Structure 1
Amino acid sequence: MIKTIIFDFGDIFINLDKLATGRKLKEMNIEDLPEHILAKNQEYEQGFVTSDEISEIYRTEFPALDPEVFTTSWNAILMDFPEYRYRFIQKLAAEKKYQLILLSNTNEKHIDFIKNEVSFFENFKDCFDAFYLSHEIGFRKPNPEIFEFVLKQQNLKAEECLFIDDTKENTDSAKKLGFQVWNLEPTREDVIDLFTTKAELF
């Protein structure tokens, strides 16, 4: 029996254009990023590098990169947050049938942008019993440690949890630990259809 539902954020609630940042950088003649920059991106996502530091790292690597242009390019991945998805989680929270947790690989620049652009963000956040962002907890998906962290923090049993994420690598990692999973395909599925798509779990 499912007692806890754990949701990803990007392409589950807020729509993403995952290639947008790369396109923006290419407009400035920045092609493939070197491995050490990609590694720093992951460190930033875990909170081991600050927002100022990640900006400086890019400016050092690409001296012609304007700081404001960098921030705009960085946040280009973030698209709209359909309010009907917020209403879905709001209704689910009000029913109090399940513990609701958000677990997202999200860096500080992105969440600051979302706070400024999404008028109902704080109300959305309040729908969850726990709200875990990778840069705040020092773990990122698909590393199993992040799932173990949530289980321990919330005193949960993996088999009683449903984890929803659009990235198969992440749901595969959770599944190995005993979670029920839904690898949602955002081009043809929507989180609001949870109870029909995954009816067998409820």
Structure 2
Amino acid sequence: MIKTLIFDFGDVFINLDKEGAMTNALELFELDELSEELIAFNSFYEQGLIDTKEFIDFYLSNFPKLSKKDIIEAWNYIICDFPPKRLEFIQQLAKDKQYQLILLSNTNELHINHIKEYIPFYEEFKACFDNFYLSHEIMLRKPNSDIFKFVLDENQLNPKDCLFIDDTTENIETASKLGFHVWNNNPKTEDIVDLFTIKKELF
């Protein structure tokens, strides 16, 4: 029986443009692909291992033609809209109090600050959850197993009582191996508001 719902944030609640952001970044940086060094550095930032100033300074030193504004705009390009129906969905779940609600997101300070500025109901959204875990704040990152074990330990959960929802296959695979029920949602064809229809066999 599902007692706890654990949600990803991007492409579950807030829409992302991953392909567009990558195309935009490659054009801006005049690259064919991101180097392993850049990918690793981005991950370090997302995990809170470096701060925002270090992150921006790194990009400015590697791409001296660009300004701080250029870097921040390119980084935030990925973030799109947050359909209000998804806020209503999680607000109703919080009101019903049938499930413990947890958010578990790989994100970073620049993205969260951008969301706070452009999504007027961010604080209302956050208030719906019993716990709200952002990777850069807890210094852990999906798909590593330690972030899932952290959530289990912090909330004294049995993974067999939890449904984890994420659009990224690697994250789902780790959770599944640890015993979670999972839904690898497709943001192009599925919507979180239809959770109880799409995964009705779990409820």
Tell me if TM exceeds 0.5. Answer: yes
Aligned partner of 1:104 in structure 2 is 105
Give, in angstroms, the shift of residue 29 of structure 1.
4.5
Deviation at 1:28, TM superposition (A): 2.6
What's the offset of the Cα at 1:150? 0.1
For 2:83 and 2:184, how far apart are their aligned partners in 1? 20
Number of the residue aligned with 2:18: 18
Aligned to 2:77, the other structure's residue is in SS state: helix
**Does the CA-based 8 Å contact 2:45-2:51 persist in structure 1?**
yes
Preserved CA contact (<8 Å) 1:14 1:78: yes
Cα pair 2:26 2:34 within 8 Å, conserved: no
1:37 to 2:44 alignment: no
Tell me, in whole angstroms, the C-alpha distance in 2 between the residues paired with 1:133 and 1:66.
27
For 1:68 and 1:96, how far apart are their aligned partners in 2? 43
Equivalent residues of 1:3, 1:160 under 8 A apart: yes
Aligned pairs (5 A) from 1:109-188: 109-188=110-189
Displacement after TM superposition at 1:25 (Å): 2.4
| TM-score (normalised: structure 2) | 0.97
Q: CA deviation at 1:80?
A: 0.3
Secondary structure of the 1:28 match is: helix
Q: What is the aligned partner in structure 1 of residue 6 from structure 2?
A: 6
TM-score by length of 1: 0.98
Q: Partners of 1:100 and 1:81 in 2: how far apart?
A: 19
Corresponding residue SS for 1:140: coil
Kindly provide the amino acid, as one letter, of the partner of residue 82 in structure 2.
F
- Contact 1:20–1:73 (8 Å) recurs in 2: no
Q: Which runs of 5+ in 2 are unaligned?
A: none
Partners in 2 of 1:15 and 1:121 — Cα distance?
14
Given residue 172 of structure 1, which amino acid in structure 2 is its aligned partner? E
- Aligned length in residues: 202
Deviation for aligned residue 1:27: 3.1
- Give the direction of change, closer, same or farther, for the CA distance of 1:46–1:29 in structure 2 (3 Å limit): closer
Query: Percent identical across equivalent pairs?
Result: 54
Deviation, structure 1 residue 37 = 1.7
Task: Show CA shifts across 1:55-79 (max 9, x none).
Answer: 1111111111111011011000000
Structure 1 residue runs of 5 or longer lacking an equivalent are none
